[in-house]
Structure 1
Amino acid sequence: MKGKLIIEEYIDKKEEYGILYVRAPHTSSGTITSFALKSFDFKKLPEEINFSKINKKTRYINLNAYITKDIVNLFDQISSDINGFYFGRFDIKANSVIDIINGDFKIIELNGIGSVPLHLYDPHNSLQYCYRFYKEHYDMALQIANTNKIEQKIRPMKPGVLLKTVFNTYLNFSTYYS
């Protein structure tokens, strides 16, 4: 085995959700731009599931209608404890949306700037809506990046270094998921 083995705590929650949270630097309150339920096809045997193509085995249900001020406040509190975090998707396990509202959930993963707004994979969304949302999504990411670049005097990566990083990331990913 090439990678390191990570043994995680068993989480006894029925459902998995993705919550995309965005907050501008120097603000205490953000917004949730995507809230989705991930519904897996467990009819297939585990050896038949290719996790590199999980989106073909997963149904995403748009739960944006359930975004409330209470949930946003909860994720404001959580994200304020993560230094420099302004944009990302929390993958969480909970038994229901009500449990999430009540704070009864476990965070299983936090994805950064490359986070995908999972609610867009709900088949009820139009292509036009998805394009418009992606534009707004990446505009917010760019605004945060520009603020950080100016205030923290961060120099952008040189194109060659960026390409090498992307290439090496792809090679590492394809090694484990091909």
Structure 2
Amino acid sequence: MDALLSDPPPAPATPGDRADRTADTLSPNEFLSPWIVYGPLVLFWILLGLRYRDFAAATLANPHIPAGGLCGESKGDILDQVGPAARAWIAPWQVFATGQGSDHRALAAMDRLGLNFPVVLKPDIGCKGAGVRLIDGPNALRATLDLYPARIAVMVQHFIPYEDEAGIFYSRMPGEARGRILSMTFKSAPAVTGDGISTLRALVLAHPRAGKVPHIYLPRLAARLDEVPETGRRIPLVFTGNHSKGSSFRDATHLVTPALTRRIDAILRTMPDFHHGRVDLRFASVSSLREGRAFQIIEINGIGSEPIHMWAPGTTLADMYRIQFRFYGRAFRIGNRMKRRGHRSRGAFDMLRLWRRQSALIALYPPSH
């Protein structure tokens, strides 16, 4: 396993070796009511809870993460569980508290980690890209931290310069010698290209994706909407790789290789009893990713992480239900096996408590960029 945790030097991407960014069309299911998308999953969860006689059995899939990573977990605490031999695959980070002097704490953390601007600043507890921002200098750092109430845990993290991002859903049944990748999804930020004539607002409204859901994109660009970008200038409309914030997804499961599977498995096996969740990473090129090299992990998420290939264009609503049932059904099966090994869940009320705490925190965060 040690050999799998060493990384050859990254190779530069070549033309045609970039992740496909053509998925800028809007799927009819992308922005349906959450009750339509997730309502059947709630019923499915209840049925599984009755079947396994524990509504929180799925949380035991990752017993060393609060609620198995369903909600309310600390991003930093999860990354802390990665073993020393695998730390080079994680984008350097540090968690600190907001409040008086927080900009100095952030700069001190950057100094200890050897980071330069730009960096990523995000809440330590959150979901769906809430509060995530790319910070380009000390003034932006100070201004963003001032938007938070005091004593909120936030994370400063190295900004990975690779252009492409992926979400890889990993799963391993207890006792299996090796885990597997259930899905891989490429994420991309829709962008507009300046023509030297049109305002940014006009470019967004004319975009084949953004123009159909302008309420997702325009608020983030409010201060710049009357700008006229010069010809050829590419302007990403969103930074965070999250569907609810406007990123588009493409199912790339067919590109998964044994080499990539072995690498991800070797990294996650350094964590105690991590069995089911999604790894979000940025990578240099499609070919290097398939070879299991030249990438860095941004986050490791537990059972609450979506199988995000369900948001790819062309996925029907029935497909979305089948995907969710498959992934969460597997979490229950894993959790039930861990229960047989002596682990005990903290029950449904603990899940509710963590969800309420997370929701209360998210309400305090500044908007994402």
1:109 to 299, 304, 311: 299
Counterpart of 1:77 in structure 2 is 266
The structure whose RCO (Cα within 8 Å, separation 6+) is larger is 2
The residue identity in structure 1 corresponding to 2:357 is: N
2:156 is the alignment partner of 1:7: yes
Shift of 1:159: 3.9
Question: In the TM superposition, what is the alpha-carbon distance from 1:119 to its structure 2 partner?
Answer: 0.9
84-93 or 70-79, larger mean C-alpha shift: 70-79
Q: Write the distance in 1 (CA, Å) between the matches of 2:332 and 2:178.
A: 18
Residues 69-99 of structure 1: per-residue CA shift (max 9 Å, x gap) = 2221221211111111011111000122211
Whether 2:288 is the aligned partner of 1:99: answer: yes
Cα deviation 1:53-81 (Å, max 9, x = unaligned): 85251110110111222221221211111
Equivalent residues of 1:20, 1:32 under 8 A apart? yes
Q: Secondary structure at the match of 1:7?
A: strand
Larger Rg, first or second structure (1 or 2): 2
Deviations 1:135-175 (A, max 9, x none): 11111100111112221331x32444332222122111222
Contact 1:14 1:93 in 2 (8 A): yes
SS of aligned partner of 2:364: helix
The alignment's C-alpha RMSD in Å is 2.3
Q: Which residue of 2 aligns with 1:142?
A: 332
Identity in percent: 26
1:88 has 2:310 as partner = no
* Change in CA separation of 1:130 and 1:151 when aligned onto 2, cut-off 3 Å: same
Mapped to 2, the partners of 1:50 and 1:9 lie a distance apart of 14
Gap runs ≥5 in structure 2: 1-147, 193-216, 222-237
* Structure 1 moving runs of 4+ over 3 Å: 42-47, 158-162
C-alpha displacement at 1:123, in angstroms? 1.2
Deviation at 1:45, TM superposition (A): 7.9
SS of equivalent residue, structure 1 residue 6: strand
CA distance in 1, matches of 2:218, 2:271: 38
Contact kept? 1:21, 1:87, Cα under 8 Å = yes
Alpha-carbon contact 1:34-1:117 (below 8 Å) kept: yes
- Give 1 or 2: higher strand fraction: 1
Q: 1:25 to 1:128 in 2, by over 3 A?
A: same
Paired amino acid for 1:99? S
- Measure the CA separation in 1 of the matches of 2:239 and 2:288: 30
Matched, 1:65 2:271: no
Pick from 15, 21, 42 the counterpart of residue 170 of structure 2: 21
Counterpart for residue 72 of structure 2: none
Moved more, 54-63 or 91-100: 54-63
Shift of 1:132: 1.2
TM-score by length of 2: 0.44
| Cα separation, partners in 2 of 1:165 and 1:75, compared to 1, 3 Å | same
> Is residue 220 of structure 2 the alignment partner of residue 30 of structure 1?
no
Q: Distance in 1 between matches of 2:290 and 2:254?
A: 13
Q: TM-score w.r.t. structure 1 length?
A: 0.87
Shift of 1:36: 0.7
Cα distance in 2 between the residues matched to 1:80 and 1:33: 16
Amino acid at match of 1:140: R
